[in-house]
Amino acid sequence: MTKRNFYFKLSSIVISGIITAGFILEIFSIKHFSLTYPYNLIVILVIVISLISTRIIFKKTFFFRWFSSLENSLVIIAAFILLNLISAFIPHQQASDGFINKLSLNKIINSYPFIFTYLYLIFTLGLVILRRINGNFSIRNIAFFLNHFGLWIILVGAGFGSADFVRLDMIVKLNNTVWYGYTEKDEIKELPFAIELKEFHMKTFTPKLQIIKVDSNLNNFKVIKQLQLDTIKFIRYKGIRIKTLQYVPYAWFINSDSVVQMKAPGYVNAAYVRIDFGDQVNEGWVSNSSLMQKGKYLPLYNGFYLTLSEPIPKDYISYIKVYTSNQEIFDTIVKVNKPVNVMGWNIYQKDYNKYLGEYSDYSVFEVNKDPWLWFVYSGIIMLAIGAIMLIFVIKY
Amino acid sequence: MSSLFTYLVILSILILFFSSIFSLKKEKIKYLNWMMFLFFFLWVTWFVLLWKNIERLPIRTLGETRMWYSFLTPLIAWGLTIKYKWKWIIPYSSLISIIFLIINLITPENFDKELLPALQSIWFIPHVLVYMFAYAMFGVATLISIRQLWFSKNTDDKKYIESTKILIYVGFSFLTLGLLFGAIWAKEAWGHYWTWDPKEIWAMITWFAYLLYIHYSRLIQSSKTNAYIIILSFIILLICWFGVNYLPIANQSIHTY
């Protein structure tokens, strides 16, 4: 047997062994635990020390050569792919299949086989990096270091740091002040600051005229064709010509064919359209629905109707006042993609009262704190630079 | 816009057809260059017009990403034709490009303006464009591997090994950037850089699959296994791109576009 094949076999046996051991622990439901600060930091330090001492003490041994070999790296990458494939196919929820639940295949990323594989990957990657460090600062070596060490930092920070990640939902009613949030398990947790919701603003896109195919009732339909109202004045569909004559936002129907405009919760968007079938012409209102008003549909032919789509949010913003425990008070805005940082906590615009839309009477914020973020981001920067350098170091 | 798109597709198919014919004859290579210039300017004009019309860069829907793929693939093949003097690569990639264009004609786009708040970010354009570029590189590498394995007499031709390696390294560089940009964007939009969303899981598997190629090809330079890994990785990539919408796990995704 060649050295290469022997390395492959050895790695395959060892990795299959630890994965099997992991599944056995799952079968016997050995309790999981999470390492929060400072324990995760201690474990990381222990890993780093053991990696460095392995490099120094066991450098010339068979173990070191095998563990830091390309063959071992290949097998662990393949194993990592296989475990991720499980989580890519099996939905992350309680399965009807007892076998899946027993082996934790539906929550593989929190299971022992995954954690063991992850640790093996961390050790392999660590030794590979240490083996390559030799005082030679060629571009190739720098690229190698940035790519491998960057990935190592990301994996370690994201994995061991995850236990310190705190995320809470804060539900703040208009003109109310809240200083606590709810965890995923609905436990209340106090925060070092309070948020008062002053205003909530929302804009929506102009709704679309849509042709729908109705199955059994009007709530059960399939969209066949959608058209932006503000750019397209008329459409043809299977010999039918449809023209929008009038568009009325904030519409209230007094009766089936007269409409008034009023900005108040419960409005719908309405359009007056002409449908030309060729031999006959039909005119009428179409609209979306709201809590107060039913949607309006016009029949095209058997099972096909014309209506307006529900408006899609373009922008929603919370105007808030923040009170911190340091006696600071300031006004700010929170919107999607524009989180606000207060005392190390990030505040995100998450949700609002969907039934009321722009008249929402509350705003939901996600507040989270990730003490390991800078660690992971430094890995991301390294890996990004390394990735760009990769183009310049291709060797044949 | 939809009828203009139909004309564009018909014109593109004609250009790609003639490009394929010209690429087969050495003395006609000059005409191929002109065809590719025409193809490039036609599509850039289309993207600019569409961008103006819908007030956002057309990279939101699956159909829109397919457009970019159809645009980039023949251009990458053109580069390889010039470098390696290959006659077959333009016809191969034209075929892929034409298939994608026809899929787009069969499933017409609305080309609407709607851009959900989560997508309104400076990361949106770089995230999608670097991914599309990486996908196009990997697509052409896959075509070369298919040619190498099943339609070539000389499987060990150095040109196959060298060209796939260049394409995958460059593609992998962009794939990594796409993944990292996505992570930073997710932190801004959703509060965390990694949420084990189905699309994220598949993106990570795709990344590790190409990582496997990079390491394996360092161990064994000329091997059919390399070509098989490239093809398999591309299948995983396609699941990440379209297939994930059809998996039982899809309803748990917030990446549904």
Residue of A113, A54, A62 whose CA lies nearest to A86: A113
Say yes or no: B105 contacts chain A, CB-CB below 8 A.
no
What 3-state DSSP class applies to A103? coil
pLDDT mean across residues, chain B? 92
Chain B hits for A368, CB-CB cut-off 8 Å, are 191-192
Residue of A139, A147, A184 whose CA lies nearest to A165: A184
- Determine the average pLDDT of the residues in A64-90: 95
B80 burial level (CB within 10 Å; 0-12, 13-18, 19+): buried
Q: How far is CA A309 from the centre of its chain?
A: 26
The most confident of B113-122, B157-166, B230-239, by mean pLDDT: B230-239
CB-CB neighbours of A154 under 10 Å: 22
Alpha helices in chain B (DSSP H): 2-24, 29-54, 62-84, 89-106, 124-150, 158-190, 198-219, 224-241
Minimal C-alpha gap between B38 and chain A (Å): 29
Angle (nearest 5°) at CA A150 between B238 and B179? 25
- Determine the average pLDDT of the residues in B28-36: 91
**pLDDT of the residue at A231:** 63
pLDDT exceeds cutoff 70 at A198:
yes
Q: In chain A, whose CA is at the least distance from the CA of B251?
A: A91
Q: What is the DSSP letter of A29?
A: T
Residue B101 near residue B69 (C-beta atoms within 8 A)? no
**pLDDT of the residue at A394:** 83
Chain B hits for A316, CB-CB cut-off 8 Å, are 117
* Rounded Cα–Cα distance for residues A66 and A58 (Å): 11
pLDDT exceeds cutoff 70 at B239:
yes
**pLDDT of the residue at B253:** 78
Which of A226, A383, A390 comes nearest B112 by C-beta?
A: A226
- Determine the average pLDDT of the residues in B112-140: 93
Residue A363 near residue A176 (C-beta atoms within 8 A)? no
Inter-chain contact A92–B249, Cβ cutoff 8 Å? yes
pLDDT exceeds cutoff 90 at A114:
yes
pLDDT exceeds cutoff 90 at B152:
no
- Determine the average pLDDT of the residues in B40-65: 92
Residue A350 near residue A334 (C-beta atoms within 8 A)? no
**pLDDT of the residue at A92:** 84
**pLDDT of the residue at A243:** 87
Q: Which residues 114-133 of B have a C-beta within 8 angstroms of A?
A: 114-118, 120-121
- Determine the average pLDDT of the residues in A108-117: 94
* Rounded Cα–Cα distance for residues B83 and A134 (Å): 36
Where is average pLDDT lowest: A108-117, B6-15, B18-27?
B18-27
pLDDT exceeds cutoff 80 at B159:
yes
Where is average pLDDT lowest: A84-98, A206-220, A228-242, A353-367?
A228-242
- Determine the average pLDDT of the residues in A270-276: 91
Inter-chain contact B117–A316, Cβ cutoff 8 Å? yes
- Taking CB atoms and an 8 Å cut-off, how many pairs form between chains A and B? 133
Chain B hits for A87, CB-CB cut-off 8 Å, are 196, 201
Residue B67 near residue B61 (C-beta atoms within 8 A)? no
* Rounded Cα–Cα distance for residues B184 and B202 (Å): 18
Inter-chain contact B252–A92, Cβ cutoff 8 Å? yes
Minimal C-alpha gap between A329 and chain B (Å): 24
Where is average pLDDT lowest: A12-21, A287-296, B220-229, B242-251?
B242-251
Q: Give the CB-side neighbour count of residue A200, counting CA atoms within 13 A.
A: 25
Q: How far is CA A339 from CA A336, A378, B38, B98, B174, in A?
A: 7, 20, 44, 43, 27
- Determine the average pLDDT of the residues in A267-288: 91
Residue of A88, A105, A87 whose CA lies nearest to A96: A105
Instruction: Provide the angle, in degrees to the nearest 10, between the axes of the packed helices B158-190 and B62-84.
Output: 150
Residue of B79, B207, B70, B63 whose CA lies nearest to B136: B70
pLDDT band per the 50, 70, 90 thresholds, residue A300: confident
Phi and psi at B192, nearest 5°, equal: -145, 150
Inter-chain contact B117–A376, Cβ cutoff 8 Å? no
Tokens 């929506």 -> residue: A204
Of A183 and B113, the structure prediction assigns the larger pLDDT to: A183
A81 burial level (CB within 10 Å; 0-12, 13-18, 19+): buried
Bridge partners of residue A304, in order along the sequence: A213, A301
Residue B132 near residue B105 (C-beta atoms within 8 A)? no
The whole model's pTM is what?
0.93
pLDDT exceeds cutoff 70 at A233:
no
pLDDT mean across residues, chain A? 92
Inter-chain contact B169–A73, Cβ cutoff 8 Å? no
B6 contacts: CB under 8 Å, gap ≥ 6: B105
* Rounded Cα–Cα distance for residues A392 and A143 (Å): 9
Where is average pLDDT lowest: A65-79, B20-34, B71-85?
B20-34
pLDDT exceeds cutoff 80 at B108:
no
Minimal C-alpha gap between A384 and chain B (Å): 6
pLDDT exceeds cutoff 90 at A214:
no
- Determine the average pLDDT of the residues in A125-148: 93
pLDDT band per the 50, 70, 90 thresholds, residue A189: very high
Q: What is the DSSP letter of B255?
A: -
pLDDT band per the 50, 70, 90 thresholds, residue A91: confident
Q: How far is CA B164 from CA A183, B147, B238, in A?
A: 49, 11, 18
**pLDDT of the residue at A228:** 76
What tens digit of pLDDT does each residue of A137-155 get? Answer: 899 999 999 999 999 999 9
- Determine the average pLDDT of the residues in B43-57: 92
Inter-chain contact B121–A337, Cβ cutoff 8 Å? yes
The predicted complex's ipTM stands at: 0.92
Q: Which residues 150-169 of B have a C-beta within 8 angstroms of A?
A: 161-162, 165-166, 169
pLDDT band per the 50, 70, 90 thresholds, residue A123: very high
Q: How far is CA B180 from CA A149, A288, B173, B237, in A?
A: 15, 40, 11, 17
Bridge partners of residue A281, in order along the sequence: A276
* Rounded Cα–Cα distance for residues B53 and B153 (Å): 50
- Determine the average pLDDT of the residues in B184-209: 95
pLDDT exceeds cutoff 70 at A396:
no
* Rounded Cα–Cα distance for residues B161 and B229 (Å): 13
The percentage of residues in chain A with a pLDDT greater than 90, rounded to a whole number, is 70
